[in-house]
Amino acid sequence: MSAAPRTVVGLDLGGTQVKGGFVLEGEDGKPDLDQTLSRVVAIDTNLDAGADDLLDRLAGFARELGSDGPLGLGVPGVFEEPGGRLLRSANLKALEGLDLGAELARRLDLPREHVCVDNDANVATYGEQWLGAGAGIQDLIMLTLGTGIGSGLVINGHLYKGPTGKAAEVGHMVVRSLPVNGTEDPYLRCGCGAYGCLERLASASAAIHRAQAAGLETDLGKLCGLARAQSGPERELLFEIGFDLGAGLLATTAALDVTCYVIGGGFGRSLDLLEPGIRAALAERDYGHAPPRLLPATLGASAGWIGAARMALDSLG
């Protein structure tokens, strides 16, 4: 009765690199994780030759990884739901308008429903919730502090994407309201159009901007090293950034009663320095919530393809 285990491939498409790996389906339908996590490989994204070329290379990469089962793909962008067409992607504009799942299914001769494409933040969240910091936790939000702030929401063990696929945009909680009679800070006008979004205050890019404005070290690794070594303006700045981050979490906690946050991304490695500020902001409100857990992400740059592979496994039902 038992067919040979299939190879489920996960790909994480970024602006410069595509990371990928695979999970063996396992004879009992459960994934065999022994060979997972150790085989991460990457190719260059290289968009110069156009969308078709990139899609061909993605399909070739999946084949190299042994793909003969469902495939998962994470992409930075906003998707149309239902349907799955890529509506927008700031760093992969050539792919906008395409149904990436259909394109890859055709190239790999897979049933369309077994090619699962989702936002990069969602797949990373799913990865961390499966095998990373959030393993065994049924309700959480993951934030990725990078150029922007990506985020994904897990409710009852499942990714929640909302009726049109645009939920969990924690980076767009407004934490600095437009001054009523004051001067707008142009940096705080977010790419989304709104003013004072969390990602303009607490992403890695925002942290660099704030360090520069304060006349401090702008290499975040060095800045955090200084803050860890001694009290002073570096540690204070990271407290302030943490406080703003906490103000954003105050909103998501009130909206969703979040009990666990997983913090990833390059700047997320400074969670130890951000946590006092986050906790101080959350303590402003006394509404009977227990303080949420704040966990550093553990899968690093592999979270995306791992979550994409899990999404593909889910498609087997």
- Site for its own copies, rule CB under 8 A: 78, 87-88, 138-139, 153, 155, 160-170, 172-177, 179-180, 182, 192-196, 247, 250-252, 254-259, 284-290
At position 178, the amino acid (one-letter code) is: L
Closest approach of Cβ 102 to its own copies, in Å? 20
Extract the tokens encoding 257: 């009663």
Dihedral angle computed from the Cα positions of residues 168, 307, 120 and 103, in that order, rounded to the nearest 10 degrees: -120
Closest approach of Cβ 286 to its own copies, in Å? 5
- Given the complex with its own copies, which of 155 and 214 has the nearer CB atom? 155
At position 46, the amino acid (one-letter code) is: N
Distance CA 4, CA 13 (A): 28
- Given the complex with its own copies, which of 38 and 183 has the nearer CB atom? 183
Closest approach of Cβ 73 to its own copies, in Å? 20
- Given the complex with its own copies, which of 65 and 98 has the nearer CB atom? 98
Q: Please report which residue ranges of the chain form alpha helices under DSSP H.
A: 51-64, 100-108, 120-131, 199-202, 204-213, 220-229, 233-256, 271-282, 303-314
- Given the complex with its own copies, which of 31 and 165 has the nearer CB atom? 165
Secondary structure of 31-94 as H, E, C letters:
CECCCCCCCCEEEECCCCCCHHHHHHHHHHHHHHCCCCCCEEEEECCEECCCCCCEEECCCCHH
- Given the complex with its own copies, which of 3 and 180 has the nearer CB atom? 180
Closest approach of Cβ 44 to its own copies, in Å? 28
Closest approach of Cβ 71 to its own copies, in Å? 25
Please list, in sequence order, all residues whose beta carbon lies within 8 angstroms of the beta carbon of residue 83, skipping any fewer than 6 positions away.
99
Instruction: Check: CB of residue 279 under 8 Å from CB of residue 272.
Output: no
- Given the complex with its own copies, which of 154 and 306 has the nearer CB atom? 154
Closest approach of Cβ 191 to its own copies, in Å? 9
